Amino acid sequence: MLATLLSATVVGLDGRVIRVEVDVAGGLPGFTIVGLADAALQEARERVRGAIRNAGFVHPPRRITVNLAPAEQRKAGASLDLAIAMGILLGSEQVRAAPGRIALIGELSLGGEVRAVPGILPMAAALARRGLRRVVVPDVVREEAALADGIEAIGVATLRDAVEAVRRRSGRRTVTLPPRVDLGVEAVAPIAASAAVSGPVRRPRLPLEVADLAEVRGQLEARRGLEIALAGGHGLLLVGPPGSGKTLLARTIPGLLPPLGDVEALAATIVASVAGDAPRELVRQAPVRAPHHTLSYAAMVGGGPRMSPGEVTLADHGVLFLDELPEFSRDVLEALRQPLEEGRVSVARVGRATTFPARFQFVAAMNPCPCGLAGDESGRCRCGPGVPEKYTGRVSGPLRDRIDLWITMPNVAPAALMTGNEPENSALVAERIAFARDVQRARGSGRLNGRVSGRELRSICRLSTVASRRAIELADLEGLSGRGTERLLRVARTIADLDAAPAVLGGHLEEAARFRSPAARLGAREAS
């Protein structure tokens, strides 16, 4: 007998509805899956067989053919397990379903438990768009599925639960099954297990604790630069010797970013869902990603057999922080070009191409020279003349063009660590950043100054007479390129926004000039 059900998979960040047709017919016993299924899906046969038997049903000794439609689309992952198993139970008439279309998403264990899969939210959303009213999902990610509008998510913990859900008449509204009684102490285990076993491994968020600005002693210039960069969404590079506090400063970023707006939050939630983070509510916290410099090209831009999103996408609407910038491989850094310019990244593989969003703010840190001690007053730096310049020169042109603020940090004198005024805490600074962002949102295209087009920048960046004179003086001093001047104006605009000033004044421009790149400053530095 033929059974037809709906399920879904994820391609990139999009859910794709898959029709699962299961035919249980006479003939030599066998189990075939057709329809461009990948290795994980082919293995579904073994999982389904075990799950059906161990859940107390019979795996019929008949000829079972599973067809996955649309036929031309590649299917990956284990999200179809539950639908296939249910199809066999329906096809062998061990279960009778209530009338109506049935949609199920979930991976099965051999014991018949239903495990979470990444990307529940976009999958549920895709089914909702097809007009489905109910979807059966793994219990642990039920809340995530429920974030999709217009569809009721029924959480199930086992294949038996799923059978119950399918037997029930649709129309009954609140059909959330109680958790299995016998689970008891293991109640939390399925979450951890599912993350570790299935789907992309859950990558750590900022692999460091979030710090408060009150912990940062001194470094007033860098603190101010960070505040400006976050207020305007500007690319930021911190250059300083080890121990000067670059990483500590980066750790304060999550506490300084304002919560995401509705549209951004939905995008961030979908990304988190596909990444396997199993969000339970809309993700309001802007993501901060800090990948290690050993990461691969595919891990940065996305891809792999399942077209998983890369770091640039995981940092969408948030911050991508690259510590030890020159240590990243050239390929990986080059790959940042497209996302930095276009806010998205295209991943092409034979036969398929996906575009991921990648509207992140770029923050990086590096040492001033290979040994890290250049400029140290003790003179311990053993790098020859010209070596530090060469080292910072490794930051390639396209990347430089995206770095609006370039901050060099000295080592803090131990005395300064003990004394001095109590530093401001993150809450105060975050308030100013949120204020400046609101000012920018209310203007023109509503984009942050770091991302507005050059054209819009000119229209929103009205200069006072002093400011325009300074701009010309600075351009004369060091032969600032058009791009250099544009970066200067972007930063000056943000400083003016922090000041709630409608026009950019001389003082704003003078301050902005402190954060330009040393390459732009070479002309002014003849006596080194």
User: Which positions from 446 to 485 touch another protein by CB under 8 A, shown as an x/- string?
Assistant: ------------------------x--xx--x--------
DSSP states along 12-79: TTEEEEEEEEEEEESSS-EEEEESSB-HHHHTHHHHHHHHHHHTT----SSEEEEEEESTTS-B-SST
Q: Which is nearer to another protein, 385 or 446 (CB)?
A: 385
> Taking contact as CB under 8 A, which single stretch among the options 52-60, 76-84, 350-358, 379-387 is the one that binds another protein?
379-387
Using CA atoms, how far apart are residues 424 and 241, in angstroms rounded to an integer? 23
- Cα angle 379, 381, 383 (rounded to 5 degrees) comes to 135
Of 298, 375, 457, 464, the residue at the interface with another protein (CB under 8 A) is 375
Using CA atoms, how far apart are residues 183 and 33, in angstroms rounded to an integer? 33
- Least separation in angstroms between residue 243's CB and another protein is 13
Question: Encoding tokens for residue 491?
Answer: 């930063």
- Least separation in angstroms between residue 485's CB and another protein is 15
Backbone φ and ψ for 428, nearest 5 degrees, come out as -65, -45
**Cβ atoms within 10 Å, residue 73:** 14
**385 binding another protein? (CB under 8 A):** yes
Q: HSE (CB half, 13 Å, CA atoms) of 222?
A: 28
User: Which positions from 313 to 342 touch another protein by CB under 8 A, shown as an x/- string?
Assistant: ------------------------------
Q: Which is nearer to another protein, 255 or 410 (CB)?
A: 410
Of 408, 440, 449, 517, the residue at the interface with another protein (CB under 8 A) is 408
CB proximity list for 95: less than 8 A, separation 6 or greater: 86, 89, 163, 166, 167
> Taking contact as CB under 8 A, which single stretch among the options 71-79, 194-202, 298-306, 384-392 is the one that binds another protein?
384-392
- Least separation in angstroms between residue 424's CB and another protein is 11
- Least separation in angstroms between residue 449's CB and another protein is 17
Q: Which is nearer to another protein, 334 or 499 (CB)?
A: 499
> Taking contact as CB under 8 A, which single stretch among the options 287-295, 338-346, 410-418, 443-451 is the one that binds another protein?
410-418
> Taking contact as CB under 8 A, which single stretch among the options 64-72, 170-178, 306-314, 520-528 is the one that binds another protein?
520-528
- Cα angle 68, 143, 159 (rounded to 5 degrees) comes to 50
**242 binding another protein? (CB under 8 A):** no
Closest CA to 236 of 358, 322, 294, 337: 322
Q: Which is nearer to another protein, 79 or 411 (CB)?
A: 411
**513 binding another protein? (CB under 8 A):** yes
**528 binding another protein? (CB under 8 A):** yes
| 485, 520 contact by CB (below 8 A) | no
First-to-last C-alpha distance (Å) of the chain:
84
Q: HSE (CB half, 13 Å, CA atoms) of 374?
A: 22
Q: What is the largest CA-CA distance in the chain?
A: 90
The number of residues in the chain equals 528
**507 binding another protein? (CB under 8 A):** yes
- Least separation in angstroms between residue 295's CB and another protein is 29
Listed in sequence order, the DSSP H helices in 218-362 are 220-232, 246-251, 253-256, 262-274, 297-301, 311-314, 330-334, 337-342
Of 357, 368, 450, 484, the residue at the interface with another protein (CB under 8 A) is 368
Of 214, 410, 447, 486, the residue at the interface with another protein (CB under 8 A) is 410
Of 92, 158, 219, 440, the residue at the interface with another protein (CB under 8 A) is 219
User: Which positions from 62 to 81 touch another protein by CB under 8 A, shown as an x/- string?
Assistant: --------------------
Name the DSSP letter for residue 276. Answer: T
Residues that bind another protein (CB under 8 A): 218-221, 223-224, 239-240, 244, 368, 374-377, 379, 381, 385-386, 389, 407-410, 412-413, 416, 420, 470, 473-474, 477, 495, 506-507, 510-511, 513-514, 521, 523-528
